[in-house]
Every structure is written in C-alpha cells, then in structure tokens.
Amino acid sequence: MDYDRYDRIRAVQWQGDHLRLLDQRLLPREERWIDCADANQITQAIRDLAVRGAPAIGIAAAWGVALAAKQGEPLDEVLATLRAARPTAVNLMWALDRMKRRIVAGADADALVREAQAIQDEDLAANRKMGELGAALIRAHSGVLTHCNTGSLATAGFGTALGVIRAGVAMGRVDHVYAGETRPWQQGARLTMWELVRDGIPAQLIADSAAAHLMKSCAVQWVIVGADRIAANGDTANKIGTYQLAITAKYHGVKFMVVAPSSTVDMATGTGEEIEIELRDPAELLSTGGQRTVVEGAQAWNPVFDVTPAELIDAIVTERGVIERPNSIAMQAMFGW
C-alpha cells in the first residue's frame, strides 16, 4: 500500500502547547488552520464542526484534556464541557473516559499528552488495518458509493470507509467512486471530493437524491460508510441519509459495508433506539453557503444522524476483524467484556 500517495492529510496536529486544526468549515475554498490555545476553544471547534468526524472529535477532545492539564485547569469541568460538545459520536465519550481513567490513576500532564498521542496513533493504525480488511471484501473492478466524509479529515489519517476505498483503489478492487453530496453540510461534496481529487482517485459527485437511480444502473456493487456509534446489536448511527442508502441498497442487491474503529462500538447501548440523534440549528438547512435559499418564515427540522438497523448491513469492518451480517451474538463475541 502506497501510504505516501494515499495518506498525506493530517487535520489534527498537536504543537506542544496548543492544538492546530484544519478548519473544515472553509474547505475546499480555503485551507485555513485554527490554533486552539485552550480546551474551551477545542470544545467550540467540535461544536461548530471546525473539526468533525467521530474519530477526529475524540482525538481533539483527548488533546483538550492534555492541554488543560498542562495549564492547570480543573479537569473534571473540562471533561464535562468537552463531553457535552456533541451527543451522537461515541468516540468523544470513549476518548474522554480513557483520559479520565489515566487522571484517576494519577497521570500528570506529560502522561496525558502521551495518552492523547496514543489515541491518535492507534486510530491511524486501526484505519490502515481496516483498509486491508474492508478492501479484501470487494471484487476487482467494482464501483462504490460513499456518504459524508470518512477520510483523513475525519480521523487521525487515511480514513475509515474512505480508507477502505483508498486501499481498494490501490489494490485494483475499486475502479470508480461515487460520493453523495451529504446535505445540508455537504461533507461529501466539500470534503470527500477534496480528498479524492487530491489522491487522483476516479470519482464523481452525485446529488443525495440520485442514489437509487445510480444503484439501479448497476454502477456500484458496495455502499461503504463510516459510523458515529455502533450499538451492541450492530445497529449503526451515521450521517443523516445513511439509513435510506441502506434500504435502497437492499432493494437493488447492492452490498452495504460499515467501517469504524472499535472506539465507535458502544456495547453499553443495546440497540439503535437508545442512540441520541443530534439535532442541529434549522438555519443549516435554510441557507446554502451562507446565502438564504428558503423563504423567510419557513421552518426546518435538522436531525444530522440516523440509525441503520443491523439487518440492512452486510459487513461491519473494525480493526479487530470483520463481522458479516452483524447481530448481538457476533458483536458480543468480538467486543464483549
């Protein structure tokens, strides 16, 4: 695998005394970096989607705790503030719980810096492993459809679903990639296409509403997506629109793959019914690129995640292995305590 070609973006960078984040709200128009000088600025960056994507949120939060420890901030308050930044991606809570365990065990600021670095490094290693495992499921010369952004921008590097796609391209298994726009925030249009074009991967953007028509045309054999939280029965929360892709894939005989590190698996949550779905400001739907597109006075409903039932998923790929046709028993066997 040529990682020099397919793994060059690092959107979360520890600088020794602050955290540098590539501002994902401005891409692809502008590559501007934000320097977060304290944990509050990191919380704000997570809340405002300057940093986004489940693993990247967890990594940024871990750095927030390390930074607060270096600055002598009250860590219980910092942990609580960061935890409340966004509700659905469990990687945030997972990373904060891991940092808290180290604090309770008496870790000093230097040890917390090492822990945050370990969380970041392990995420990159997990993505590379998942790339191999997921790509091995795909037949040569396939077409794939992905949703949202699951690439280097959303992780420590390489990506989850996009990591599988990158590995699949490198191995000759993926010939063509389609990326859904991912309204309203356009993670697919603005971020995934930016990553694919930079890598020179043959890809086309589609409107979210073109997915069924695409699948009917037999141009894609797999839908490959990431996850924000995988419940103990395999139900998976991911970006809004994922559920309708899974239903459409089942109808057309297209396979459906979820790719996520084990830090996204939440065995304490029994089913998808229990996952809190983030509702964001309706204003995100009422404007496009800062320009109001909907008549004044109009209302909107803006849930930003949905839950795909396990029965619609053909494979869950984590760094620990692949679960085909996931259910509680297979999940317990791989992730049980």
**Could you say whether residue 102 binds ligand MRU (CB under 6 A)?**
no
Residue number with CB closer to ligand MRU (238 or 248): 238
Q: How far is the CB of 46 from ligand MRU (least distance, A)?
A: 9
Alpha-carbon distances, residue 193 vs 66, 151, 201, 257 (angstroms): 33, 10, 9, 20
Q: Which stretch binds ligand MRU (CB under 6 A): 50-58, 128-136, 196-204, 267-275?
A: 50-58
**Could you say whether residue 128 binds ligand MRU (CB under 6 A)?**
no
Alpha-carbon distances, residue 7 vs 1, 131, 250, 323 (angstroms): 10, 12, 32, 26
**Could you say whether residue 43 binds ligand MRU (CB under 6 A)?**
no
Question: Mask 239-278, x = binds ligand MRU (CB under 6 A)?
Answer: x---------------------------------------
| Type of residue numbered 288 | T
- Residue 228 is among the residues annotated as catalytic for this protein: yes
Choose the catalytic residue: 7, 123, 199, 228: 228
**Could you say whether residue 160 binds ligand MRU (CB under 6 A)?**
yes
DSSP per-residue letters across 287-298: EETTEE-S-TT-
Residue number with CB closer to ligand MRU (187 or 221): 187
Pick from 18, 52, 128, 129 the residue near ligand MRU by CB under 6 A: 52
Question: Mask 213-232, x = binds ligand MRU (CB under 6 A)?
Answer: -------------xxx----
Alpha-carbon distances, residue 223 vs 93, 139, 147, 169, 203 (angstroms): 28, 13, 8, 15, 14
Pick from 155, 248, 263, 318 the residue near ligand MRU by CB under 6 A: 155
Is the CB of residue 163 less than 8 Å from the CB of residue 152? no
Q: Which stretch binds ligand MRU (CB under 6 A): 36-44, 106-114, 154-162, 308-316?
A: 154-162
**Could you say whether residue 50 binds ligand MRU (CB under 6 A)?**
no
Element (H, E) at 205: strand 203-206
Q: Which stretch binds ligand MRU (CB under 6 A): 149-157, 170-178, 244-252, 288-296?
A: 149-157
Alpha-carbon distances, residue 330 vs 117, 274, 323 (angstroms): 31, 20, 7
Q: How far is the CB of 29 from ligand MRU (least distance, A)?
A: 17
Pick from 43, 150, 269, 308 the residue near ligand MRU by CB under 6 A: 150
- In the numeric block, the tokens 């000759």 are attached to 172
Helix (H, G, I), strand (E, B) or coil at 36: strand
- Cα separation, 318 vs 259, in Å, equals 6
Q: Which residue is nearest to ligand MRU (CB)?
A: 226
Is the CB of residue 157 less than 8 Å from the CB of residue 232? no
- 3-state SS, one letter per residue, for 218-275: CCCCEEEECCCEEECCCCEEEECCHHHHHHHHHHHCCEEEEECCHHHEECCCCCHHHC
Diameter of the chain measured on Cα atoms: 59
φ, ψ dihedrals at 159, nearest 5°: 105, 170
Question: Mask 171-200, x = binds ligand MRU (CB under 6 A)?
Answer: ----------------x-------------
Site residues (vs ligand MRU, CB under 6 A)? 52-55, 89, 148, 150, 154-155, 160, 187, 226-228, 238-239, 304
The residues assigned a catalytic role are: 228
